[in-house]
Homo-oligomer: A and B are copies of this chain.
Amino acid sequence: MTDAPHRRGADRTEAIMRTTLELGREIGYANLSIEAVAARAGAGKHTIYRRWSSKGALLLDSLLSLNGPGLDYPDTGDVVADLRAQIYAAVDLLAGASFGPLFQALIGEAQHDSRIAAALNERFIAPQADKTVARLKAARDQGQLSPGFDLDLAMAILSGPLYFQLLITQEPLTHEYVDRILDALFTGMGPRPRP
């Protein structure tokens, strides 16, 4: 009972973030305003601005509050199968209507606001990259990958084409595309040996 004011504060914060996602999905990030979020969440505009300095900062926290995306790597002993399972899940998240378009808008915002870029990296991108590198490193330590295998670059080759598709060509992300990237990374695309 003594923590009731804190509970109310936490409930209000959660309601504001939930409303941000709901309204953002309905009308798109470009049309979203802090005023509209405040009105629908039944909160004061100043309450929102006290905690979040911009619409982008509010979106960042709201998306990360979903948290549960469950993008951890399994470790079945088969590194390719484990990467495939995790990247399928990531692609389903990015391609899904409830996360993808708002996440894409957040990355757009990061191009204009270096604080958003830094926070996005620190709180979402880098932890995900660390997990990928850790799973690859375990495989390398077990002799499943060559000792010279470039872990950071492998992470970039697994992620880069997906983000290129999401942000630049804006074609749909599919499991089939993930399979092609994994095949290229692990079976290689080397020059044909001369006869």
Contact = CB atoms under 8 A, between A and B. Distances in A.
Interface in A172-192: 180-181, 184-192
Q: Majority SS of interface residues in chain A?
A: helix
Interface in A17-42: 29-30
A191 B144 contact: yes
A157 B181 CA distance: 8
Interface in A97-125: 104-105, 107-114, 117, 120-121, 125
A160 interface: yes
Contacts of A125: 168-169
A57 interface: no
- Name the interface size band of chain A: 35 or more
Contact of A190 (B105, B159, B181, B187): B187
Contacts of A187: 188, 190
Interface stretch (A8-16, A64-72, A147-155): A147-155
A118 to B, nearest CB: 8
A134 interface: no
Contacts of A2: none
A5 interface: no
Contact of A156 (B30, B110, B165): B165
Interface string A118-141: 001100011000000000000000
Interface of A: 29-30, 79-80, 104-105, 107-114, 117, 120-121, 125-126, 143-147, 149-150, 153-154, 156-157, 159-165, 167-170, 180-181, 184-192, 194
